[in-house]
Amino acid sequence: MSTEDAVIDLDTPRDESVGPTGSRGRRTARPWLVAGLVAAFAAGTVLGGWGVDRSREARARQERDATVTLVAIPAGVDSGGVNSGGRARIEGSLAVVNAGPSPITLRSVRAESPTVLIQDLGRTRLIRPGGTGWIGVVALFQCGDAVGPEPLSMRFSVQTADGQVREARYPVALVGSVWLDRLSGMCEPR
């Protein structure tokens, strides 16, 4: 074997006429292909992270818009009277505070017990977060029957910021309210 055959110069292209060298020829990746793959991976990572972040924000916004938190108290008396059957009718207002994080539209109010019936006058009211809305209601009480000391569970039909109609409940204390003050004067025998 001559010394020329034993030395391989890597800077010169291989002469194909010499024949195979015993191992298969390797192809090296072109630099632009590697750069393209790295760029695609980086873009995918950035877009994936952005998409996950947006998904979390949307989920949090959806949960926030679906939240209903109310506080309600009897707020005023407009008029009242007693019918011949011994039922007292009070038209008044109910103060409803939106303690939730999003605006709500109060659609209806109703409460019922054996001695009391309360329902709204059919008007809707938009209440901003932290705001108070006064809702006109009619309260019917049976004269002679005592109103229990426990709060009356009121049902509120509410349209939330996400457009869904939900039901919320809140216990409203009637004892010590302006409604019972008026009722005591109305139901006294004359």
For residues 82 and 176, state if they share a domain. yes
Q: Within 13 Å of residue 117, how many CA atoms lie on the same side as its CB? A: 7
For position 78, which CATH number holds?
A: 2.60.40
Domain contains 100: yes
DSSP-H helix ranges across 67-149: none
Residue numbers of the domain that contains 37: 16-66
Assess whether 47 and 85 both reside in one domain: no
Residue 178 included in any domain:
yes
108 and 32, same structural domain? no
Query: Is residue 8 assigned to a domain?
Result: no
Residues 50 and 120 in one domain: no
Is residue 83 in a domain? Answer: yes
Q: Which residues contact 87 (CB under 8 A, 6 or more apart)?
A: 140, 141, 142, 143
| 61 plus 90 within the same structural domain | no
175 and 105 co-located in one domain: yes
Q: What residues pair up with 176 in beta bridges, in sequence order?
A: none
Same domain, 141 and 47: no
Q: Do 119 and 38 belong to one domain?
A: no
**Quick one: 88 and 101 in the same domain?**
yes
Residues 27 and 112 in one domain: no
How far apart CA 6 and CA 173 sit, in angstroms, is 104
- Looking at the fold, whether 31 and 58 belong to one and the same domain comes out as yes
Q: How far apart (Å, rounded) are the C-alpha atoms in residues 168 and 158? A: 7
pLDDT tens, the chain, 190 aa long = 555 566 666 776 666 555 555 555 556 668 787 788 888 888 888 777 777 777 777 776 766 666 778 888 888 888 777 766 778 888 889 999 998 888 999 999 999 888 888 999 988 999 999 899 999 999 888 887 777 778 888 999 999 888 888 898 888 888 888 888 887 777 765 5
Give the closest residue to 100 by CA, choosing from 140, 127, 124. Answer: 127
Residues 84/53, Cβ–Cβ less than 8 Å: no
Same domain assignment for residues 130 and 38: no
Q: How many domains does the chain have?
A: 2
Q: Is 3 a domain residue?
A: no
